[in-house]
Amino acid sequence: MRYTPFARFLDFILFSNIFIACCAMAQGALTYLLLNTQPNLTVIALLGCSTLSLYNFSMILARPKKPLSSPHRRVHWIYSHYKLVLFLTALSSVALIPLLLQLSLNTIILLSLTGLLALSYNFPLFKGASNRFGLRNLPGAKLFIIAMVWALSCVCVPIIELKSSGISVSLTDLLLLTVKRFLFVTAITIPFDIRDLFQDKQYNLKTLPVILGEKKAYLLCQSLLILYVIFLLIFVNHLTFATIGLILVTLLTGWLIFRSRWEKNEYYYFLFLDGTLILQFLSVYILQYF
């Protein structure tokens, strides 16, 4: 494939983690939309900066021995542009300081705990018989850590900050939104682990697809999306356009996950599957006017 200027730009947006940072901002904005409240731009900006910082820092911590020999285009791009990645990581980390100063103490505490949980994914916290290891090495933990970090940051952080501003959000709404977000993020994260199944076996990483096998992992993805739709339908008084939009995006996501059995192109995962996080926000934002 010819390496066009557009392909270079796409690589930069996707592999520098700017796109996934936009996904986090969209998910934070989605929480405000679903609660029918005015979005806090400081919280949304903070979600973007913290995601960019954490994702890049995780890549720095997990640097392979020979990154430029990696078969993955993303790994090759990151370590071919290592100084740029370091600059973006430092810039986004510094930008967090003035943003954090505008938030309540409870929000800062939750963000700090969420950040520590995210960092523990790659950081060698535990001591084994022969070496130290992080939470990613615990059987099945990787997937749920990622989903929990996303649910806490994109749902609980906006709600905690709303409460500090005097806007009441019921515990039921908080729990339902958190569970639904956890289910969706878990479902779209599993295909990434399925794609890396052979590599994870080599590194002795007990991810869920390694434990369950490829077929059962795909079945789990679809089951989680079905459960997500059930949660969307049974806890509403009437069917809204926002709910219809989220269901349509979920159906598209299920199809994308099904197609991921054959699509091994990295763009497919980092653009289309991750892109459903932005599509959820757009569907609710557009359909609210109907």
Split at pLDDT 50, 70, 90, the class of 225 is: very high
pLDDT averaged over every residue in the chain:
88
Higher pLDDT, 265 or 248: 248
Higher pLDDT, 103 or 135: 103
- Can you give the pLDDT at residue 200? 61
Residues with Cβ within 8 Å of residue 262, at least 6 apart in sequence: none
Average pLDDT estimate for 250-256 = 96
Asked if residue 215 lies in contact with residue 197, where contact means CB atoms within 8 angstroms, the answer is no
CA 29 to chain centre: 14
Question: Structure tokens of 163?
Answer: 């409460």
Average pLDDT estimate for 119-136 = 64
Question: Structure tokens of 44?
Answer: 């949304």
Task: Using DSSP, state whether 139 is helix, strand or coil.
Answer: coil
- Can you give the pLDDT at residue 103? 95
Q: Which of 57-61, 164-168, 203-207, 228-232 has the highest mean pLDDT?
A: 228-232
Domain ranges of the chain: 8-287
Place of tokens 């906006």: 158
Split at pLDDT 50, 70, 90, the class of 12 is: very high
Average pLDDT estimate for 216-233 = 95
Residues with Cβ within 8 Å of residue 263, at least 6 apart in sequence: none
- Asked if residue 124 has pLDDT above 70, the reply is no
- Can you give the pLDDT at residue 2? 58
Split at pLDDT 50, 70, 90, the class of 29 is: very high
Q: What is the CATH number of domain 8-287?
A: 1.10.600
- Can you give the pLDDT at residue 122? 67
Place of tokens 């079945």: 219
Does the CA dihedral 167-50-54-221 come out positive or negative? positive
- Can you give the pLDDT at residue 154? 97
Average pLDDT estimate for 129-145 = 70
Range with lowest mean pLDDT among 14-28, 76-90, 189-203, 248-262: 189-203
- Can you give the pLDDT at residue 212? 84
- Can you give the pLDDT at residue 30? 97
Query: What is d(CA 181, CA 24) in angstroms, rounded to the nearest whole number?
Result: 12
